[in-house]
Chain A
């Protein structure tokens, strides 16, 4: 059996190969034993290169988890209005929405939310709005995003739904998360069942934890 170090290296090598095939300027660097990809991220459409941003992609939670991506060219203001953190970390979207996609991988993340984000930044630089809109900052944005997925509104209702979805099983005699006071089997059980197919318990709990950070 291979030891974990070898397994990590093999995973990383495979990730490097995959990334470089699609993004040849993103090169793997190992600093203090931690991997990152660094270089120029192009926006290409219809065989035309429209723009480029310099990025650093690091993996504080491991290479199979969502990375932290920083814009390192000093081009995007570090302000919430431009959806960046101090230090250059970019806020592509609410993380749980990314994780809900079945085909999550670094490559799909770069080709989806990250590319969308940089298309947006490039347009905003030219005085245009974000092409698909933007969530509000902080808790309000989370409630908008989670509410959008769940099809409900109101913080309490959203929290109840996330709480239920965080369980492996939802019992029919529980009170409905909609707040009607009825048992769930007599109210929104069908909707909760459908949401259980879309939102795994781990992501529901993660979403609730994220909301709780603002409490």
Chain B
């Protein structure tokens, strides 16, 4: 961070460095994978034409380079049972279809795709079933928790986040969460950020400080509601006391770091991709103790 750069300018540069252009290698790879996933699903369920569409950070505008992934909703018509009669059947049958070509990690409602060497393709497939012909609300199976299903609405989620006017704060806090390897689910974290910043007219640096201060100072988790189903979906488990405690202690540390050493101590040097290979080679050339990897 140069001496003439303001906090706002620095944070904007960090945000800029986390952009993924549509023609970036990373997104191109994701798009190719998406085609494959869609082909597998359409081949596996040829008679019920599932609706396959983007959800997650790509649709919401919260994508960052260090934690980019693709949520692919795969929703089946409400009156079709060829993919499974129950939500759990649908979840399992979609998983089985994907397992023919991927290693599938079964998450709460999503299926994470990896290759046989455990490389993460950064794609979550979310199977579900529309509640009716309007194809808006949807039921999802839940692997964890007391309730085995939930009702949700992708468009409501996307709109809630995308139109929150907090995208910069969300993206920077997502970067913070990623780098600190915090366990909080991104879905709940985004809702929490929006709630904590409700009505705020603070600058971006102050928004971040405000969120960390709230996380640090509140003893109990702040309850958040699923905008797609406020009364029906209990998100308390996603922000339980354990998750909150972790967020709280790391936020406290971050505020101390910020006070003592400024923003660059929190988000580091602005990452650069230009001339990356040459810079890596230069970094290697300047190493004093050269070591070679081995595998036992």
Contacts and interface: CB of A to CB of B under 8 A. Distances in A.
B283 A137 contact: no
A41 to B, nearest CB: 10
Contacts of B118: 74, 77-78, 86, 88
B294 A91 contact: yes
A213 B118 CA distance: 27
Interface in A81-108: 83-86, 88, 90-94, 97-98, 101
Interface stretch (A116-124, A161-169, A176-184, A187-195): A116-124
B272 A45 contact: no
Contacts of B181: 27, 38-40, 54, 56, 72
Contact of A50 (B114, B280, B291): B280
Contacts of A77: 115, 117-119
Interface in A172-215: 210, 213
Interface size class of chain B, counting residues whose CB lies under 8 Å from the partner chain: 35 or more
A46 interface: yes
A48 B283 CA distance: 10
A73 interface: yes
A24 B295 CA distance: 29
Interface in B248-296: 250, 253, 257, 265-266, 268-272, 276-277, 279-287, 289-296
A117 B291 contact: yes
B272 A112 contact: no
Contacts of B120: 73-75
Interface string A21-41: 000110100000000001110
B216 to A, nearest CB: 15
Nearest to A116: B291
Contacts of B233: none
A25 B119 CA distance: 23
Nearest to A210: B296
A76 B119 contact: yes
A52 B207 CA distance: 26
A113 B66 CA distance: 23
B180 A97 contact: no
A72 B280 CA distance: 22
B108 interface: no
Contacts of B276: 50-51, 122, 126
Nearest to B122: A74
Given A44-B269, A77-B117, A77-B119, A83 B282 contact: no
B272 A132 contact: no
Contact of B279 (A50, A78, A88): A50
A50 B272 contact: yes
A6 interface: no
A79 interface: yes
A117 B293 contact: yes
Nearest to A128: B277
B291 A126 contact: no
A19 to B, nearest CB: 13
A48 B269 contact: yes
Given A79-B117, A142-B294, A39 B179 contact: yes
A133 B284 CA distance: 12
A77 B295 CA distance: 13
B51 interface: no
A62 interface: no
Contact of B284 (A76, A80, A131): A131
B142 interface: no
Contact of B296 (A91, A97, A112, A131): A91
B280 A119 contact: yes
Contacts of A138: 295-296
B178 interface: yes
B294 A94 contact: yes
B284 A116 contact: yes
A153 B279 CA distance: 36
Contacts of A123: 277, 280-281, 284
A145 interface: yes
B132 to A, nearest CB: 37
B269 A92 contact: no
A47 interface: yes
A59 interface: no
A45 B291 contact: no
Contacts of A51: 271, 276, 280
8 contacts: A27-B181, A43-B283, A50-B276, A52-B179, A91-B294, A116-B290, A131-B281, A141-B295
Given A25-B179, A112-B287, A116-B287, 14 more contacts: A24-B266, A40-B66, A49-B268, A50-B279, A50-B283, A73-B120, A74-B120, A76-B119, A77-B119, A79-B117, A93-B293, A117-B293, A123-B277, A126-B276
